[in-house]
Structure 1
């Protein structure tokens, strides 16, 4: 796997980065929910997170929002914890609770991905750890974040909730070193989804990594 080195765009203290992440947590949860196809508006997301019932929103979409809230809270609370496969599984257990076939454990069967003929192999724990360590050894934090998100999303490590989990881990990589926030904004979703499908098909990072660097790494 050939990686392009991206210079870090942001330079904050961890405390400052966590502050901005908490301040924008509703927006980040909304962006992640839309990325996964949840049919909610920003005001509905805000209302759900405030604990008020929202008529017309499905139970599944409400659960998606609340699970994302819990995953973000856990990630920010444990921002200094080492990034290991066990930690990634813990984040998934928060993201996909009561949604996926199993949560908090690696997928042990085959899955397909809508819109592409690509079939990701069943995850092998030893191979995942090798790839994770390879990504975490990259020179810039921003490169680690981008390539982790792309590799983990295409690998489909879990039965469901892969983009959400990958987004949370990409954020942990950035925030734990004060290098910004990773988010796919709603205005970029159409182009992002088209590039992601092409990436699923060919596994060519060069067709999407520049897009993520330019549009999805946010500084404050």
Structure 2
């Protein structure tokens, strides 16, 4: 399949698009941690206020995701492991015992098909992977961003916050190249859960990558006489654990 870029913006336009959707993006990504706030509650917390009935832990997840999104929408740093570590240090600050540090022990991920044990982390290989991916101009930025996101999710390179880190770094690549955002629509969340579970256990990304390209690339393309919207940002119900 030819994964041509669907969205064509300048980096500045893409940054503004992400900032306009900050609350909904945080609302979506907080589901990775099982946070079940409403969209208005999420906005209130982003505005710096407390919400009755929402735990301090959930508030911290939302606040750190806000800071993570602010980092990726404003940073000029490259797509590399150092940047990934900085993102993880932000989003996993209150959940991980070692935020921003690579996983050195064994772990597992709960999936719809049972527990998945990720491979050991090889820092040199991860550095080379990210360098080669960013330099691969033969494929679209959209395809490379999707691949980056799922590679980091499956490899679980950090102790905690891997899905949040993977999503933010992949979207930084999208933003840097002006190609929109990656976000899974809420009404397709159950399908995504099954597809990512299949990918975790098989290691074959093809079906998940194509499905995400068809359903999860969102933005506004600048046309000569009008703007064409692609898959407006929506919020999914609940994700797998970290």
Question: TM-score range with shorter-chain normalisation?
Answer: over 0.9
DSSP-derived class of the 1:176 partner: helix
CA RMSD after TM alignment: 1.4
Name the structure 2 match of 1:215. Answer: 215
Deviations 1:40-92 (A, max 9, x none): 221211111111211111221111100001111111121x2211211110011
2:225 paired residue number: none
C-alpha separation between the residues in 1 aligned to 2:135 and 2:214? Answer: 22
1:122 to 120, 123, 126: 120
Q: In the alignment, what sits opposite 2:232? A: none
CA contact (8 A) 1:34 1:186 kept: no
Instruction: Say if 2:94 is the partner of 1:109.
Output: no
Q: Would the alpha carbon gap of residues 201 and 155 (structure 1) be closer, same or farther in structure 2, given more than 3 Å must change?
A: same
Question: How far apart are 1:211 and its partner, in Å?
Answer: 1.3
SS of aligned partner of 2:77: coil
Matching residue of 1:137: 135
Query: Aligned residues, how many?
Result: 216
1:166 maps to 166
* Partner of residue 189, structure 2: 189
Alpha-carbon distance, 1:185 to partner: 2.8
Which of 1, 4, 8 is matched with 1:7 structurally?
4
Structure 1 counterpart SS, 2:109: coil
The answer as to whether partners of 2:17 and 2:219 remain within 8 angstroms in 1 is no
In the other structure, the counterpart of 2:230 is none
TM-score normalized with structure 2 length: 0.85
TM-score normalized by the length of structure 1: 0.93
Report the alpha carbon displacement of residue 134 of structure 1 after superposing the two structures with TM.
Answer: 3.1
In structure 2, do the counterparts of structure 1 residues 26 and 107 end up closer, same or farther at CA, with 3 Å as the change threshold?
A: same
2:61–2:94 contact (8 Å) kept in structure 1: no
2:79 is aligned with 1:83 = yes
| 2:15 counterpart of 1:18 | yes
Moved more, 131-140 or 168-177: 131-140
Supply the distance in 1 between the matched residues of 2:149 and 2:11 (Cα, whole angstroms): 21
Q: Which runs of 5+ in 2 are unaligned?
A: 221-242
Q: 2:42 aligns with which of 18, 42, 45?
A: 45
Give the structure with the larger strand fraction.
2
